Amino acid sequence: MSLVVESPPVPLRTDAHGVWRIGNTRVRLDTVITAWKQGDSPEAIVESFETLKLADVYSVIGYYLHHRSEVDEYLEQNRREGERIRAKIKQQFPQEGIKERLLARRAALLNKES
């Protein structure tokens, strides 16, 4: 018996927005690598995201280990972009006084119904 050594393609794809996803799922590369870096096993990651295949998670982690600097750069770009978007949303929709505004709106609706 002889073994055939082959390298199946890494199950990564980019969506229409340039986000790297695992296989045919909507699970992001960021999600899998972050979970793994925080100590989750591939099995635990698959338990958390039922659409993932265990072999795909192992393959993606292997890809990360072989291309760490490129993937870390991608993850850092995503982190910075997320911070930029959160700051923009916070500026457009200030959180200060939101509870009071919502309670006032609710009271006004209740008064109209009475």
Domains and CATH numbers, the chain: 12-113 (1.10.10.10)
pLDDT tens for each residue of 42-80: 999 999 999 999 999 999 999 999 999 999 999 999 999
Residue 5, by phi and psi: left (phi above 0), alpha (psi -120 to 50) or beta?
A: beta
Output the pLDDT for position 112. Answer: 84
Strands (E), the chain: 12-14, 20-22
As given in the structure block, the two tokens for residue 67 are 């291309």
Count Cβ atoms within 10 A of the Cβ of residue 63 and give its class: 0-12 exposed, 13-18 middle, 19 or more buried: middle
Quote the percentage of the chain above a pLDDT of 90: 76
Q: Give which of 25, 22, 26, 6 is closest to 71, Cα–Cα.
A: 22
Q: Over 90: is that where the pLDDT of 87 sits?
A: yes
Indicate the pTM of the whole model.
0.77
Output the pLDDT for position 1. Answer: 79
